[in-house]
Chains A and B, each alone.
Chain A
């Protein structure tokens, strides 16, 4: 469908094959910029999620003890609530009349709202929130393979803490980290409810562009072309992650 077109002023599809839609994506800096912005946002989301998930998963596996179940339940929450409800919650948290601005205002620290929505910060906060579980879960299952006393064992052999992390924990966590990163990256790349609501239309990602074209402009062939571009990127990443995982599994 992405190689079809619509005659001007009509929405009836013309199934003569044309590359027009792809030329439009490639030829206009706007879509390329949008694509780069989306890739950047997804990369940052993945990086931040990894940074937050590593200590959290490590804690859950080695230190949480009988609170493990409880903590994992808490981690699962954003995933099972769907995209819409947590995003509405974030709006009420970050918005100009939300909890954070409200608290700062009543403490007299600021008098005009601090803008956290409608920019990349807001979207990042939302994306990391939505997809952190996808990073934590594979990490936890990878770290689960660590013997409980690995840390003290390595240290009794004279390794210092940093060495234990670099030589033992990170290599063991690598497959989980790679799997989690691929999941988070792909999910962030195609997510549209979060950037749509938290970006307030001021920050466009590839998925919100596709949504705008499909649902509002009603240019379905062009929306399909945008989606195809996204699928190709996803396929490349999938193949890359698979390769990386094999490599990590083969490296001792």
Chain B
């Protein structure tokens, strides 16, 4: 019994270690002084972090990524909320089918989707524009937003809103005063995930983005395709991962994100 518990715990921690190790190595390798990581490292330095902060190209790419990710997550939460309200309150019988359909885009090969999209954009004259990129990002994250929001809404009693309305509140106000505050954790969760997905997208943005809206991952990927892994990108990657960790840890502590997906 005792031994079994210890074995069980050891197994659990081995699995956790396996999940964390690559990220830890990534962060660690950003401190390696050489251009290509090798273990054991010959010298440690902050050289790549300094170079990253000095590079105006990377700075502007990071700013672009942040702007687009913020706007796209706000948009997708707004539309996602409308869709989720319709789906949960509408009393549709086909709901399980819709839930599966909503998962499909998460697993679609994005390359093919991106090539189809760029042809549509070219017809519409949207290619290379900021709005086209924003629309594409909103579409990528929308299914996940709807899913998270549906899960949130189905735990909220619709009678509350009805009650508010029967007491004379207008529909918008009833929604804003009863359902929305209760759904807030779900809204924030879906916004945060939307932000992270949009911020990290390479495939679609490579095809859609115009010259003036180069995002950070695209910049990193184009560097990877041209001259290989640039340690500067590793340094920035390490910083992004660290930031992501903080956001996720806060979200988990505050809103129990893991129960909402």
Contact = CB atoms under 8 A, between A and B. Distances in A.
Interface stretch (B54-62, B100-108, B179-187): B100-108
A10 interface: no
Contacts of A242: 96-97, 100
Contacts, number: 181
B39 A102 contact: yes
B168 interface: no
B23 A77 contact: yes
B166 interface: no
Contacts of A39: none
A34 interface: no
A86 interface: yes
B160 interface: no
A73 B217 CA distance: 23
A81 B23 contact: yes
B202 interface: yes
B240 interface: yes
Interface in B64-115: 96-97, 100, 103-104, 106-109, 111-112, 115
Interface stretch (B44-52, B127-135, B169-177, B246-254): B246-254
Contact of B100 (A78, A133, A238): A238
B19 A132 contact: yes
Contact of B116 (A1, A98, A192): A1
Nearest to B17: A74
Contact of B111 (A52, A76, A211): A211
Interface stretch (A18-26, A146-154, A222-230): A222-230
Interface in A72-100: 72-78, 80-90, 92-93, 97-99
A59 interface: yes
Contact residues on A (Cβ < 8 Å of other chain), bracket: 35 or more
B121 interface: no
A137 B258 contact: yes
A120 B100 CA distance: 29
A15 to B, nearest CB: 12
A74 B244 CA distance: 11
B30 to A, nearest CB: 10
Contact of A81 (B15, B96, B112, B241): B241
Contacts of A231: 108
Nearest to A192: B109
B217 A192 contact: no
A181 interface: no
Contacts of B258: 72-73, 75-76, 137, 140
A210 B220 contact: no
Nearest to B40: A102
Interface string A185-222: 01101101100000000000001001100110000100
Contacts of B248: 73, 76-77, 80
Contacts of A183: 103, 107
A46 interface: no
A69 interface: yes
Nearest to B206: A215
Contacts of B11: 55-56
Nearest to A140: B258
B26 interface: yes
A4 B257 CA distance: 44
A210 B19 contact: no
Contacts of A84: 200, 202, 217, 220-221, 237
Interface string B8-51: 11011001101111111110010000001111100000000000
Interface of A: 1, 52-53, 55-56, 59, 63, 69-78, 80-90, 92-93, 97-99, 101-103, 106, 129, 132-133, 137, 140-141, 144, 183, 186-187, 189-190, 192-193, 207, 210-211, 214-215, 220, 223-224, 227, 230-231, 234-235, 238, 241-242, 245-246
